[in-house]
Structure 1
């Protein structure tokens, strides 16, 4: 059994990506999983001056330890104007200050949901490039467009084709972390 850490690139209390993340985590039967709500991880905007004066917060160190203990990560990024949120970029900035290669040997299932028809593909593409830069391996990507029409909080992904694709990608990720 591998430990999988799941978190979003959003610090919104109403994040649709967090709902997709919780649903995805509930489907992993053979893995120990930790789901983090990033609302509980507020970070100031990164600056060298702030870091020199204040160092690294306890919550940043705790998050880094969670990442280090995980064999795999499930990350659901949100999209703001075609890119991942400023919160997600800031989170990566802070983590990389603790360890530039903080994602080395980490297998990643990268997801995004959006209310629009493009399914946050811009955020997925940009996030993948960022994660690879820090030595993460994006094993699978999943995009959920038209969230309100394709996702139900009780039943999960209700579009048959999307549900099948999601399940296949989740199984592929699960196989990758079990090797």
Structure 2
């Protein structure tokens, strides 16, 4: 990848709910990545249903088709931006299950290797006062376990039911600025990494 190509960033939320606050935040983050000079691909995990991870199922049938599709998407991108909802103080089963399947190997492709060179930013929105802070700590740990470099200063959006305006933008100026700063940092970090990896003079 040459420095003239914008870094590609895969964006999704750990919720399949149609009116999910985190899905709205992920879509908004994808827009801000584009504004920052990156190339964002937003996907809805509702379009990639997966069975609950089961080692016997994997041994018997191999990776589900949607797990392979998600791995292909990951391979086509250099960064991740994940919106992680909080269920009972934890990450959602959908987020955990999706990442578990994506990390598996199929004999031809190592799932963990696909994560190894990724850089990620994480955000969360919650109806509560903490804004999903517990979920953010856990998704950061999970991504780090997979070999992903996770940027500091994640964004937590509390009281999500009142956090978005009629245009689906964050109503609070400081939250808008923090989201912009996080997206810009992700784009800049990826651009610098790929510039360093490019052959001299290319």
| TM-score normalised according to structure 2 size | 0.84
Give 2:197's aligned residue: none
Distance in structure 2 (CA, Å) of the matches to 1:52 and 1:14? 36
For residues 129-140 of structure 1, what are the structure 2 equivalents within 5 Å?
129-140=141-152
Alignment: residue pair count: 179
Residue matched to 2:55: 48
Asked if 1:13 corresponds to 2:25, the answer is no
Q: CA deviation at 1:155?
A: 4.8
Give the aligned partner of residue 195 of structure 2. Answer: none
1:69-112 Cα shifts (integer Å, max 9, x gaps): 11111110111000100111111211121223431111101011
Alignment counterpart, residue 142 of structure 1, candidates 152, 155, 162: 155
For 1:15-164, list aligned pairs within 5 A. Answer: 15-27=20-32, 28-29=34-35, 30-98=37-105, 99-140=111-152, 141-164=154-177
Ranges of 4+ aligned residues in structure 1 off by more than 4 Å: none
CA contact (8 A) 1:77 1:123 kept: yes
Separation in 1, partners of 2:18, 2:162? 21
Q: Distance in 1 between matches of 2:187 and 2:167?
A: 23
The runs of 5 or more residues in structure 1 that have no matched partner are none
Q: Which residue of 1 aligns with 2:3?
A: none
TM-score by length of structure 1 reads: 0.94
Higher radius of gyration, 1 or 2 = 2
RMSD: 1.3
**Unmatched tracts of structure 2, length 5 or more:** 1-5, 106-110, 193-202
Which of the two has greater strand per residue? 1
Q: Does structure 1 retain, via aligned residues, the 8 Å contact 2:90–2:138?
A: yes
Matches of 1:19 and 1:123 in 2, distance apart? 17
